[in-house]
Amino acid sequence: MLAANCYKSEHLKRPENWALVDKAKYYYIAGFFLTVSPDSIQLVSEHAATHDKIFMMNLSASFICEFYKDAQEKFLPYVDYLFGNEVEAKTFSKVHGWETENVEEIALRLSRWPKASGTHKRIVVILTQGVDPIVVAEDGKVKTFPVVLLSKDKIVDTNGAGVAFVGGFLSQLVQEKSIEDCVRAGCYAAKVIIQRPGCTYPEKPDFN
């Protein structure tokens, strides 16, 4: 955590580090990083837009939407995939005076936020709690995907479920799979991690 808080864009600019950025095709940055090094986010997001690559971010926390509103707005135009949960989405709506707590409507409005590059559309993925479906806004439409239900006795630790979902989602996205496959992998990863203590996984996944 201390290392993350001390991160500087000068580190990113080092030739050996920037070479990794240049080589990548997909970039994912958590919204928490807005509190640390917005200069680094700017370098990566602009690089992605200029070179027709995919840039992704996460709303990450309600306090980010509240207290880092300007920074969030600055980089949102570069975001091709935006992730968040329903609480964060509702906070974003409240902060921007949208006067709605309808998660589907919020996701749709976020997907229509102006883009810095017209190469890629924006897809917004909102995770909900409990039995409510995953909400995906794309091409001016909203799709919902049912979550994998578990009995309460199988749920051990819900910490990290959202991050696990994003990881599963991205595992399929980088393989250019469909949104349906991405969501399915995300749900699988979240389902696995909430049945285990801490952020741990079995040695061999059984996703297919």
CATH number at residue 31: 3.40.1190.20
Q: Could you list the residue range(s) of the whole structural domain that residue 166 is in? A: 148-200
Tokens of 195: 């049945």
In the chain the first and final C-alpha atoms are separated, in Å, by: 34
Are residues 54 and 156 part of one domain?
A: no
pLDDT in tens, 155-189: 888 888 899 999 999 999 999 999 999 999 999 99
Are residues 91 and 158 part of one domain?
A: no
Mean pLDDT for the chain overall = 93
pTM for the structure as a whole: 0.94
Q: What is the pLDDT of residue 18?
A: 98
Are residues 117 and 59 part of one domain?
A: yes
pLDDT in tens, 97-137: 999 999 999 999 999 999 997 789 999 999 987 778 999 99
Domain boundary among 143, 158, 181: 143
**What's the total number of domains in the chain?**
2
Are residues 176 and 127 part of one domain?
A: no
Contact 60, 31 (CB under 8 A): yes
Residue 10 lies in a domain: no
In the predicted model, is pLDDT for residue 84 greater than 90? yes
Query: For the chain, where are the alpha helices, taking DSSP H only?
Result: 2-5, 9-13, 15-23, 38-50, 62-67, 69-75, 86-95, 103-111, 161-173, 179-193
